[in-house]
Amino acid sequence: MSVDEVQKNIKNNFSIPPHKTSNIKKVIGVVSGKGGVGKSLITSYLAVLMNRKGYKTAVLDADITGPSIPKVFGVHEKAMANSDGIIPKLSKNRTKIMSLNLLLDSEDTPVIWRGPVIASTVKQFWSDVLWEDVDYMFVDMPPGTGDVPLTVFQSLPVDGVIIVTSPQELVSMIVSKAVNMANTMNVPILGIVENYSYITCGNCHEKISVFGESHTDEIAEKFGLKVLGKIPIDPSIASACDKEAIEELQGDWLELAEEVLCNLQ
């Protein structure tokens, strides 16, 4: 038996079915090798963009100890449950959301849990939530290559991952780890999104690389990946997040990512 066959068997043995009422067509993981690169922003905005195209979208917030998805969408009411399972909350434009913050008594309550409990919670968000019909589910994962990404890759039928990074010197090593983990788990990589890529001068409209020369294109070429978008440092983005109005944000930065998602078989 080949290494690929062994890995496939391991994944099949750990995979769990969604809730019996759920019909989820595509599952997209959004990952990063390190924190602070704006992964939750990218996750949220991808869901918004696909929702605008008429698809039914959902976000599973797997960043259990640092959940931020509900706040970006302006969703604060606690999720409820019935005898069948947990009912996800709906954003203003009807994107379904499930996050631990929607189950806590207070959003400020710290989550001081060990890895196995966190991993179990992520599985429950998949199997015990009444997602019903979803065209694209985006899974916002914590940074790194620890318990949660491993749990998601093993337990959920992930159709592809998008790697979020920033234009800094360490990007090569950081992205390499994320790429290698996805490859080890036989999860397709859809491409890379670079956040905090540049600022645009208000006078001459020149793009200025605040963090120095970007190496994202080089890394993408090294691994044979697409760069799906470069997100600028833009006041409108920060304002949309601060105002909890990600669904009002307008920008064409992720057009290629939209195209790749729409063409996903």
What confidence score (pLDDT) does residue 171 get?
73
Torsion of CA 57, 261, 48, 28, to 10 degrees: 60
What confidence score (pLDDT) does residue 5 get?
53
What confidence score (pLDDT) does residue 4 get?
54
Q: Domain-by-domain residue ranges, the chain?
A: 3-255
Binding region for ATP: 33-40
Query: What would the pLDDT profile of 30-62 be if each residue is shown by its tens digit?
Result: 999 888 888 999 999 999 999 999 999 999 999
Binding region: 33-40
CATH C-level class of 3-255: alpha beta
Per-run averaged pLDDT (10 residues), the chain, 265 residues: 49 78 97 87 98 98 94 96 96 98 89 91 97 98 88 96 85 86 95 92 84 85 95 93 96 97 92
Return d(Cα 71, Cα 73) in angstroms, integer.
5
What confidence score (pLDDT) does residue 169 get?
60
What confidence score (pLDDT) does residue 120 get?
95
Judge if pTM exceeds 0.85. Answer: yes
Angstrom distances, CA of residue 182 to CA of 33, 63, 140, 160, 203: 11, 18, 15, 9, 42
